[in-house]
Structure 1
Amino acid sequence: MADSDSSPQTAAFWTQADALLRKNLTYQKRNFNANCRLISFPFVLCTLLVITQKLVDNEINKKSNQCGCQCIDTNGDGKCETVCGLQFSDLDQSPSCPIPSPLKWPPLLQVPAPQYRAVRSASNPSTDLPDESCRRTGNCPVTILITGTNQTLGQSLAASMFSPPSPLNSTNSVLGSDSTTKQDSFLDPAFIEGSLYNIQSQCTSNSTVTVSASLDVSKSSPFNFVKETVCVPSLNLWRNSSSEINDQIYRGYEKGNAERQYNELLGAYDFLNSNANNFNVNVWYNATNKDDYNGRIFLVRLPRALNLVSNAYLQLFQGRMVLEFIKEMPKPATKLRLDIASLLGTLFFTWVVIQLFPVVLTALVYEKQQKLRIMMKMHGLGDGPYWMISYMYFLVICALYMVVFVAFGSLVGLKFFTLNDYSIQLVFYFIFINLQISLAFLVSAFFSNVKTATVVGYICVFGTGLLGGFLFQAFIEDASFPKGWILFMELYPGFALYRGLYEFAEYALSGNSIGTDGMKWGNLSDSENGMSDVMIIMLLEWIALLFIAYYVDQVFSSGSGKNPKYLLQKFRKKRPSSFRRPSLGRQGSKVFVDMDKPDVVQEREKVEQLLLEPTTSHSIVCDSLRKVYPGRDGNPEKLAVRGLSLAIPRGECFGMLGPNGAGKTSFISMMIGLTTPTTGTAYVEGLDIRTQMDWVYTSMGVCPQHDLLWETLTGREHLLFYGRLKNLKGASLKRAVEESLRSVNLFNGGVADKQAGKYSGGMKRRLSVAISLIGDPKVVYMDEPSTGLDPASRSNLWNVVKRAKQGRAIILTTHSMEEAEYLCDRLGIFVDGSLQCVGNPKELRGRYGGSYVFTMTTSVDDEHEVEQMVLRLSPVLKKHTKWLEPRSLRCRNRMSALQMYSKQSRLQKAGSRFMRGVCPTPPWKMSSSRSQTQSSNSTRLHD
C-alpha cells in the first residue's frame, strides 16, 4: 500500500536533536537545587582539606619543630644574642637547621636490644644458642649465622669480623646501636639518646670505647659529642644451608601469650662459592624499621655490615679496607612540608570524581522506569538524536563539574592541582568522564528501578575508593607485584581512575617536599609512572563500551527491541516504501475465528482483500495478530490476543471494549512497539510493525493508560517538546501548543505554566490527550483517555477527540458505553483475547436488539429474593429460568453484554451497579459446604 500524500513530513535529525536539547536544558534549569548540592560536594571536601592543611601547618611550624636556638654572649660584653643551629637542636628540630658541614658519624650496626637477642626457646630450640637466663643479667651475645660451600673459609671470615681492634679507637671498632633510625643522619639517635655498643668476639675489662664526634657548625659554638660504649660479645654459628638460616630468622618472631617476644639475630652471611680468587656473598640484615605505616622511609644501617665482611676477606687474602665515617649531604635551612591533599587526595578525589557515575546512571534509569524514553520514541524521536544529545548533555554536565572541581581546588591552593600540569589533568579527566558516561549507558540497560540503580551506583563509588586505598595501592607500591596484573586490574574504570590520581598525588607530594613542579608530559615516559598506561586503557575502553552500550540499547532497551544481528543488515538511508503482503506468521498457526459471528468473518475477509489489493484508504490493517506470553512458575502460557484481523480507515475512531484481561492493552502494546507479536503482523500507514517500527513512530500519537510526564516540566513545555518532534516550528508550533492547551482547558489561570508534578490526576490525563494529538499524527492510540475526569471535563475531552477524527485513524479503549457511542464510529468487543463482534453502535443495537437480556446467576436459595429485587426496579420484565453450571467467565461475559448493549434506563443503571457487586464474586453464591456438582439457577428476565 502506498503512502498517502498527506503524510506528515518527518522531523529532521537536527530538529529532533534541538527538541531534546531544549527539553533537557529546561529540565536541568528546574533541577538547580540538586545541581548545587552536587557541586557542593567537592567544594566542601576541598574546604575541609584546606582547613586540615592549615591545622597541620600550624602544628609542624611550632617553635619546638624549628631549628633550636639559644641566647649566648658571643662578644663577652654581658649581652646575649640568639644563636640558632644544629648544636642547640634535638632530633625533631635538626632537619630544619642549615648545615653547611654535616657531622661525620662512625658507621653502626643495627643491634638487637638485650631483651630481644636470640636465645633457646620452644620455637627455636637450637642447642648452640645461649640460654634464656642471659636475658635476666642483660649479657646475652649478639648472634650471627653463617653458611657457604666452604665452612672453613666462612668461619674464618666470621671470626675476623669482630676481632679486637688494634689500636682500640672509634674508627676501627665495630659499633652498633639498638636505637631506631631517622629519615636522615644529621643527628644520629644512637649518639643522642640511644645505647651505643662495641661488638667484639670476647669482651674484656678494658673493652669500653669512648666515641667522640666534633664539628664546628658555627664559629662561636663548636659542636662536640662524646659517648662511652657497652661491650657486647658476638656469637658466630655455622648453619649447613641458607634455608636453615631463613627458617631460623623466621622463627625469630614468635608471639607469646601476653606480649610479643623476639629472638632477633644481628645478621647472617652466605658465602656461597667464595674462595681465594672469588668473593661472592649474600647478606641478611634487619630492615624492620625501613617503612612505617605513614609511608616514611628510614635509614637502614647496612654499610657497616657490608664493610665488615668485605674487610675480613681483604685482610685474609690481600689487605685491609677501612670505613671511616658516614655523613649526610650539606643543606640549607628548610621547613617541614606536609601536603595533606596529596596524602589523602587519592582516596577522597576518587569519591569526588566517580560520584558522577550514579548521577548519570539514575537519570537514565529514571527515563526507563517512567517509560519516558519509549514515550519520546513513540512520538518520533530517533535513536541517533537521543544518543547524541543525551551523551553530549551528560558530557557537558560532567565537564563543568570537573572544571569547577579543579578550579576551586587550585583557587584554595591545593598542591594536588597547582603543581601538576593542567593539560595532563584536562586530558585525564576528559577521557575518564567519557568512559564513565559510556559505562553508565551500558549498565542502565540492566536496571529498571531507580532505587536499585542508586544503591548499586553508590556502592561502586565507596567500594572503589576503599578497595583502591587499602588493596590496589599496596599492589602499586609493591615492586615485586607483576605489572601485568596491575594493568589487568586497571581494566576496571574505578581502579584506572585511582591509579591516575595516585600518580598526581605522588608527583605533587614529591614536588612540594623539594620545591619543584609536579607531573609534566615528560614524566609520562618514566618507568615508574603508570599514567600513560592508564590513559591508553581508558581511551580504548571508552570506545569499546560506547559501541557495546549502543548495541545493547538497540537490542534490549528500545521498545520492542531489534534482532541481535541487525548490525549485519544493510543500513537503510531513506524512509522505506510502504507495502503490505499476507502475513507469514499466519501460516501454520491456528486462527481463532468463530464462524457463527458473521461480522468478525466479514472483517477478516476485508483484511485479506486489502492485503491482496492494497489501497491508501486504511491507516491500520492487522493481519492475524497473535500474542502469547510464556508460562512461568509452573503456570501455563497465556494467550492474550488470538489471531486478530482488523482494518481501520482514515477518519474513523474505533472503540475497543471488554472486561479487564480481555487483551486490549496487549493489542495496544503491540501496535505501539512495546511488545512484539508472537505471530501475525500489522501495518500502520503501510509500514510493518515488526520491521519498520522506527518509521511508524513518526506518524503516531499515543495517550497511554498511565500518564508519562516529567514532573518538573510544565504543560506548555511538554507540548513544545512533542510539537518539535512532530516537525512543528516557529509560529505554527506556538499556535498548535496554545490551541491544544485551550482545547483541554489547560490554558487559563496559569495552569499551562505550572509544573506537571503539581497537576491533579484529571489535568495530567488531559495533558496526555493533548500530547497524543499535537502535530497532526495520522494514527492515534488512546488507552482509556477519560479515566479520572469529572463529567464537565470528560464532555469537553470528548469534543476534542471527536474533532480530531478528521483525516486520522484513532483506536480508543474504554469501559464506558456512553463514551464509546459518542466517540466511536465502530465498536469491537474483546473477550478472552478475541474479537467477539464488530460494527457501529446502531448496527450492534439492531443486530442484538428486540429485547434486552439481563442475566443473573445465583444460588437456588436466593433466587426468589433476587427476582423480587429486579422486578421492583423494572416490573415489565419477564422471567426465563435456565439451569447451568456456575462459571465466573460466563458472569464476566454477561456483565459485559449488560453494560455495553442495554439502554440508559433505570434497569441498566441499577443492573450495572448490581453486577459490579456480583461478579466475579456474587453475594448470592453456592455455599462452600455444598457439593461442587450442585447447579445454580440462572434467571433471565426479558424486557
Structure 2
Amino acid sequence: MFIDSPEPNSRSDYKTIADGIFGTDASYNDLLFHTSYYGLLFHVRPHCSAENSSRFKNSTSETDVICAEGLYLWRNSSAQINDELFKGFREGNTEGKVNEVLAAYDFLDTNGENFNVSIQFNSTHVDDYRSDGPQLLRIPRAENMVTNAYLQFLRGSSTKMVLDFVAEMPIPGGYIRPRDISTFLNILFFTWVILQVFPVILSSLVYEKQRKLRIMMKMHGLGDVPYWMITYLYFLVISLIYMCCYFGFGVLTGLTIFKLNSYGVQCIFYFVFTNLQISMAFLLAAVFSNLKTASVVAYTIVFGTGILAFLLFQPLVDDASFPRGWLIFMELYPGFSLYRGLYELSQYAAGGYIVGTYGMCWDYLSYSNNGMREVLIIMSIEWVVFLIVSYYLDQVISSGSGNHRSLLFFLPNSQRKHLTSLEKTSFLSAESSVQIENNDVSEERKMVEQLLEAPHSDYSSICYNLKKMYPGKDGNPDKFAVKGVTLAFPRGECFGMLGPNGAGKTTFISMMTGLLEPSSGTAYVEGLNLRTQMNEIYGSMGVCPQHDLLWDTLTGREHLLFYGRLKNLSGAALSEAVEKSLKSFNLSQGGVADKLAKKYSGGMRRRLSVAISLIGDPKVVYMDEPSTGLDPASRKMLWDVVKHAKQDRAIILTTHSMDEAEYLCDRIGIFVDGNFQCLGTADELKARYGGSYMFTMTTSPENGSEVENLVKRLSPNAQKTYHLYGTQKFELPKGEVKLSDVFLTVRQAKARFPVQSWGLADTTLEDVFIKVATEAE
C-alpha cells in the first residue's frame, strides 16, 4: 500500500501529496493566517533514509517534509483493531509509547469481485477539535491508498486511480464548525442577499417615470446624460455600501467563503456584478412604466433566480458531462453568472479549508475547470452592453424623457433626413389646413408668418400651425386634439387660454413643454426650434403642470434648492432666490418650508409647484390651471406674485376661472375643439361678443310663460339662454332696449304675479365664454 511516490514540490501539489502525506503538527490558524510557519508534513514511505527528508518552498512559506516508515501490522479481528485504536493518542500503549497507528482497514468480504473496506483512524490527538480541527485529513488519503492497492493487486502495479479532490470528512455528529457555517447557509442565501438591491433600484427608476418626475427635471434643464450619470453614481454608491456591509459581516463572522478566498478576487467579482445589476435595472426601467408591475417582476427575478439556479443550474455545473458551451450560454443571464461565481468561491473555500491552505486566488483563474474567469468576462461585457442598450431604448421608446427619437438617431444622416421630413410635413399641413378663422385669429396667423420671415427679439415664443393627432383605434377615426395653432407670445405678456374640458389646452401645453411630440407644425422658444432643439429650450423654461409633480421625501425648501441649481443658480444667489420664493408664496411661516411634501395640503403643494416654475428667472413659463384648489386668500396672493413675475418674460396659463383670466391676462384666447375661436383682451372680447344685456328673473314655474311674453314685448329679438324651474335668463340686444323700459316692465310684472328676484347685467367674460364655446360646438 505504501509506494515510493515522488516528493511534493509545493503545498498545492495535491496529486503527489495525496499519495502519502498524512498530517502536520502545525495548528490550523498557523496554516491559514501566518505568512510562514514551521509545521512538519509527514510523508509515509516503505523505507526512509536521510535523503528522504526534504524541504519545499512556495511564495509565502517553507515547510519540512519528514519521512515516516509505514509498518504493516496484521490483526485477526476487528476487536483487536478497536482495542488498539481506542486507547487514544495520549494514553499510549502497554510499552509507554504514544499510539501512532495511522489507519486500520477491515476488508470485510472483499474479494476479486467485491471491494468492501471499513477504514478507522484515531483523531484524539487534537486538544480542541472546535478551534483547530483536523489539518490534512487522513481518511481521504487512506481511502485513496487502499483503493489503489486493491486495483494494483488485481490489474498490476502500473494501475493507479488519481485523487482529484479531497472532501472534508468525517464531521463529528451534531456539530457545526463556526468557520464552515457558509456551507449550511448555502450559495442560494447569498444570491438572494446580493440581489435584494435590484428591486430597490428598478422601483426607484420606474417611480420617477410613473410620477413624471424625470420629465419634470428635464423640463427645468436637466439633460439626459447628466441624469444618467448622477443616477448611476448614486445607485453605485448605495450598492457599494450595501456590498461592503455584506462582505464585512461575512469576514467578521469568519465564514470560509469570505476569509479563505483572495480578497482581491472577491472585490472585483462583487464590484463587476454590482455595476451589472444597476445596468440591468436601467434596461428594465426603459420597458416598464408602472411601479407595481415593475416591483412584482423585480422580486420574481430575485427569488426565481435563486431557486432556478439551485435546482437547475447547479446540477448542470456539477455534471462533468454537460457541455461547457451550454453553461456559458446559461451564464449570459446575470443571475446565473452571480450564482456560478459564488459557487466557485464556495468550492475553493471548502477545498482550502480541508487542505489547510487558501481558497481561490488570481493564479487559479487560469485553471480550465474554474468558471470564475468566464463569469467575470461575461459580466464585464454585459455591463457595458446593457448600458448602451438601455440608453438607446430610453431615447427611442420615450420612457419618461419626453419626445422619442428616430430609430437611427445616432446617425448624422438619419437626423438630417428626420428634420427634412418634419419640415415637409409642417408645410404640407399648413397648406392643407383649410378652415374658417375669425378676423383676430387670421390676423394673428399673418403676423406669425411675418415674424418667421424676420424674427423679432421682443417675442419669447412663436407657434406655427402646431397640431396633435391621436390615431384612431378599434375602427374609430383619428382624433385631432390640436388643429393648427398659430400664435405669438411677446415678452411681458400673460396669455390666458380659456376653454371647456377636453378642448385641447393641456395637450397644447404638453407639446410646448416637450411632454408630447407634435404631429406637425413647429414652435420657436427664444429662437430655438421646438422639434429639434428641445434640450436647449428646457434651460429657459418654467413649468407648473396640471397635476403636482413632487417628491414625497423632499421638503419644500429642498425642491426649490434642487430646481434652482438646475437653472444654474448657486451660492448666495440660490439661497436668496429660494427664500424669496418661500416668502412670496407664504411657505416660510410655521416651518412649512422644512416639512416633507407628502405632508403638504393640496393648496400648499399647488403653491410650491408655481414657485418651482418661476425660480431661476425662466424666459417662458407655462402654467396649467395654477390656482386650482386654493382658497380665496391664497388665490389672490398667487395672482399678485404671477402678475409681478410676468415682467421680461412670457407666461402662458390655462384656467377655468374668469376672474383669474381678467385679473392676470393681458390677452385671452378661447380654445374650443382644438382651435382658437377668438383672441383679444377681456374688454375687446366683451365688446365684440357682448353687445347685449343679460336679464334674469325668478318666479313661480306656472308664471314662466308670462315672463317670456313680457320679455318678447320688451325686445322682439331677445333670446332665452337659461331656464331652470322658475328661473329664466334672456339676452337682450342693447340697441333695442332702454334701461327705463326694463324697470317699467319689471314693475308691471310685479303687479300681475309674484317676482322672487330679478337682475340686469352687462355682458361678462363668462357670458362671452359660454357664447363662443356654444357656437363653436
Normalization by structure 2: what TM-score?
A: 0.71
Q: What SS does the corresponding residue of 2:382 show, helix, strand or coil?
A: helix
Deviations 1:416-451 (A, max 9, x none): 211111111110000000011011111101111111
Say whether 1:561 aligns with 2:404.
yes
| The 10-residue stretch of structure 1 (300-309 or 740-749) with the greater mean CA deviation from structure 2 | 300-309
Output the CA distance in 2 between the equivalents of 1:367 and 1:826.
Answer: 36
Say whether 1:101 aligns with 2:35.
no
Higher RCO structure, 1 or 2 (CA under 8 Å, sep 6+): 1
Output the CA distance in 1 between the equivalents of 2:434 and 2:694.
Answer: 25
Q: 1:511 to 1:850 in 2, by over 3 A?
A: same
Q: 1:865 to 1:915 in 2, by over 3 A?
A: farther
Say whether 1:185 aligns with 2:28.
no
Unaligned runs of 5+ in 1: 1-82, 90-96, 110-172, 188-214, 219-296, 312-320, 573-580, 857-861, 884-893, 895-904, 921-937
- The aligned amino acid for 1:564 is L
Q: 1:707 to 1:309 in 2, by over 3 A?
A: same
Give the C-alpha shift of residue 571 in structure 1.
13
Show the counterpart of 1:452: 293
Output the CA distance in 1 between the equivalents of 2:266 and 2:707.
Answer: 84
Which of residues 580, 584, 587 in structure 2 aligns to 1:739?
Answer: 580
Q: What SS does the corresponding residue of 1:567 show, helix, strand or coil?
A: coil
Deviations 1:888-925 (A, max 9, x none): xxxxxx9xxxxxxxxxx9678999999999xx9xxxxx
Say whether 1:749 aligns with 2:750.
no
Q: 1:417 to 1:612 in 2, by over 3 A?
A: same
Unaligned runs of 5+ in 2: 1-81, 89-97, 126-141, 416-421, 722-730, 732-757
Output the CA distance in 1 between the equivalents of 2:222 and 2:83.
Answer: 77
Q: 1:866 to 1:798 in 2, by over 3 A?
A: farther
Which of residues 525, 531, 536 in structure 1 aligns to 2:377?
Answer: 536
Which of residues 607, 615, 637 in structure 2 aligns to 1:796?
Answer: 637
Q: 1:824 to 1:764 in 2, by over 3 A?
A: same
Which aligned pairs between 1:258-657 and structure 2 lie closer than 5 A?
310=155, 336=172, 339-555=180-396, 556-557=398-399, 558-569=401-412, 585-588=426-429, 592=433, 594-595=435-436, 597-657=438-498
Q: What SS does the corresponding residue of 2:410 show, helix, strand or coil?
A: helix
Output the CA distance in 2 between the equivalents of 1:632 and 1:864.
Answer: 50
Output the CA distance in 2 between the equivalents of 1:98 and 1:676.
Answer: 89
Show the counterpart of 2:94: none
Output the CA distance in 2 between the equivalents of 1:830 and 1:863.
Answer: 36
Which aligned pairs between 1:122-137 and structure 2 lie closer than 5 A?
none
Output the CA distance in 2 between the equivalents of 1:750 and 1:584.
Answer: 53
- The aligned amino acid for 1:808 is R
Is contact 1:420–1:508 with CA below 8 Å preserved after alignment?
yes
Output the CA distance in 2 between the equivalents of 1:379 and 1:101.
Answer: 80
Give the C-alpha shift of residue 344 in structure 1.
3.2
- The aligned amino acid for 1:530 is G
Q: 1:585 to 1:300 in 2, by over 3 A?
A: farther
Give the C-alpha shift of residue 102 in structure 1.
2.2
- The aligned amino acid for 1:345 is N
Q: 1:518 to 1:686 in 2, by over 3 A?
A: same
Is contact 2:187–2:346 with CA below 8 Å preserved after alignment?
yes
Give the C-alpha shift of residue 464 in structure 1.
0.4
Give the C-alpha shift of residue 597 in structure 1.
1.0
Give the C-alpha shift of residue 101 in structure 1.
3.2
Q: 1:606 to 1:552 in 2, by over 3 A?
A: same
Is contact 2:685–2:765 with CA below 8 Å preserved after alignment?
no
Larger Rg: 1
Give the C-alpha shift of residue 633 in structure 1.
2.7
Q: What SS does the corresponding residue of 2:518 show, helix, strand or coil?
A: coil
Aligned length: 612
Say whether 1:807 aligns with 2:648.
yes
Which of residues 548, 568, 573 in structure 2 aligns to 1:727?
Answer: 568
Which aligned pairs between 1:184-203 and structure 2 lie closer than 5 A?
185-186=119-120
Give the C-alpha shift of residue 869 in structure 1.
8.9
Output the CA distance in 1 between the equivalents of 2:766 and 2:686.
Answer: 22
Q: 1:760 to 1:554 in 2, by over 3 A?
A: same
- The aligned amino acid for 1:707 is D
- The aligned amino acid for 2:559 is H
Deviations 1:751-793 (A, max 9, x none): 1111111000000000000000001000000000000000000
Going by fraction, where is helix more abundant, 1 or 2? 2
Output the CA distance in 2 between the equivalents of 1:582 and 1:661.
Answer: 28
Is contact 2:639–2:664 with CA below 8 Å preserved after alignment?
yes
Deviations 1:849-871 (A, max 9, x none): 22157999xxxxx9978778999
Q: 1:483 to 1:825 in 2, by over 3 A?
A: same
Which of residues 648, 652, 675 in structure 1 aligns to 2:516?
Answer: 675
Is contact 2:119–2:143 with CA below 8 Å preserved after alignment?
no
| The 10-residue stretch of structure 1 (669-678 or 516-525) with the greater mean CA deviation from structure 2 | 516-525
Show the counterpart of 2:548: 707
Output the CA distance in 2 between the equivalents of 1:595 and 1:333.
Answer: 94
Deviations 1:826-882 (A, max 9, x none): 1111111011111111111111122157999xxxxx997877899999998877469
Q: 1:615 to 1:829 in 2, by over 3 A?
A: same
Deviations 1:459-505 (A, max 9, x none): 00000000111110000000000000000000000000000000111
Percent identity between the two aligned chains: 55
Deviations 1:247-298 (A, max 9, x none): xxxxxxxxxxxxxxxxxxxxxxxxxxxxxxxxxxxxxxxxxxxxxxxxxx99
Give the C-alpha shift of residue 510 in structure 1.
1.9
Output the CA distance in 2 between the equivalents of 1:726 and 1:671.
Answer: 19
Say whether 1:846 aligns with 2:693.
no
Show the counterpart of 1:776: 617
Is contact 1:593–1:601 with CA below 8 Å preserved after alignment?
no
Which of residues 593, 598, 604 in structure 2 aligns to 1:763?
Answer: 604
Q: What SS does the corresponding residue of 1:587 show, helix, strand or coil?
A: helix
Q: What SS does the corresponding residue of 2:426 show, helix, strand or coil?
A: helix
Output the CA distance in 2 between the equivalents of 1:914 and 1:865.
Answer: 26
Output the CA distance in 2 between the equivalents of 1:568 and 1:450.
Answer: 33
Q: 1:596 to 1:355 in 2, by over 3 A?
A: closer
Output the CA distance in 1 between the equivalents of 2:441 and 2:235.
Answer: 52
| The 10-residue stretch of structure 1 (715-724 or 633-642) with the greater mean CA deviation from structure 2 | 633-642
Q: 1:878 to 1:824 in 2, by over 3 A?
A: farther
- The aligned amino acid for 1:685 is E
Is contact 2:690–2:768 with CA below 8 Å preserved after alignment?
no
Q: What SS does the corresponding residue of 1:566 show, helix, strand or coil?
A: coil
- The aligned amino acid for 1:826 is R
| The 10-residue stretch of structure 1 (413-422 or 789-798) with the greater mean CA deviation from structure 2 | 413-422
Q: 1:646 to 1:423 in 2, by over 3 A?
A: same
Q: What SS does the corresponding residue of 2:120 show, helix, strand or coil?
A: coil
Output the CA distance in 1 between the equivalents of 2:667 and 2:487.
Answer: 11
Q: 1:874 to 1:618 in 2, by over 3 A?
A: farther
Give the C-alpha shift of residue 563 in structure 1.
2.1
Q: 1:414 to 1:104 in 2, by over 3 A?
A: closer
Show the counterpart of 1:137: none
Q: 1:674 to 1:909 in 2, by over 3 A?
A: farther
Output the CA distance in 1 between the equivalents of 2:197 and 2:209.
Answer: 19
Is contact 1:107–1:303 with CA below 8 Å preserved after alignment?
no
Show the counterpart of 2:85: 86
Give the C-alpha shift of residue 551 in structure 1.
1.7
Deviations 1:521-565 (A, max 9, x none): 111112211001100100011011111111222222321122222
Deviations 1:77-125 (A, max 9, x none): xxxxxx9963479xxxxxxx9864323544855xxxxxxxxxxxxxxxx
